Amino acid sequence: MSNGSNSKKNNYKDKIIEILNNSASGLTLSEIAEEVGAHRNTISKYLFALEAEKQVIKKEVGTANLYTTTKRNYIKREIVVDFVKSVFYALKKELPHKEQILKKVGNSLLDRFEFPMGRSYLEVAEKIRKTPDPKFQMEIFKELYNSFDFLQGGIDISYLELQNERAVYRFKNSAFLDYSEDFIYFFYLMCGIAEGLFLKYFNSEIECNVEDFNISQKNIEAFIDISIKFKNIKLVLKDYKK
């Protein structure tokens, strides 16, 4: 009888944690009870126990109490992307014609934030370090970009131009090209990040710029062209030949 009681208790706790893990902003007691399919009094008892175990936090919001988990590992990507888009909308509205400032912000961001590169991207980085050929680095930039633009999936990147010291890429299928230019500052920030990453990890000075873009309600027609150009191309090639 005791084992059955413990199993039921753990089942309720697991359900509550699972539900709260999938909530971006937290849930009320009534909402949790409805999701679990149990009486409010029952859920209240288990929430109290989970608070005592420091697995759940209760926040007062007006007259309501919202519960969240202490070990929530994520917020839904759609919510994060929408928030970031809103930030860039506000920046463009309040700071018009400040594209170069956004590049500087992207560069400085690296002083504080370490991009979560997985093993495959670290292997790409190691290839670049071992082969300091600018053309090779430009060719592999498409793969590298996805390591630091973790907000988006399925970005389509193709070459428009590839020379010894300069490359131009066309980016399509981006959430930041939707319907208007409101979110275009995002790409200037990413240019600054790219410049900082090349210098930090590969000791290569590059200039990364937005060259052109087309905003369209048809996703297939929207694009942005981004270039990278090596500043110290002669020095890099000289070192590479050695």
Q: What is the pLDDT of residue 165?
A: 84
Q: Go through the chain and tell me how many residues it has.
A: 242
115: closest CA among 225, 194, 207? 194
Q: What is the pLDDT of residue 124?
A: 67
Q: What is the pLDDT of residue 99?
A: 97
Q: How far apart are alpha carbons 110 and 192 in whole angstroms?
A: 10
Q: What is the pLDDT of residue 232?
A: 67
Q: What is the pLDDT of residue 133?
A: 75
Average pLDDT, 10 consecutive residues per value, the chain (242 residues): 54 91 84 93 94 88 80 75 95 96 95 75 69 76 80 86 89 89 96 91 88 87 94 48 40
User: Which domains, and CATH codes, for the chain?
Assistant: 2-69 (1.10.10.10), 77-241 (3.30.1380)
Q: What is the pLDDT of residue 104?
A: 97
Tokens of 157: 């990147």
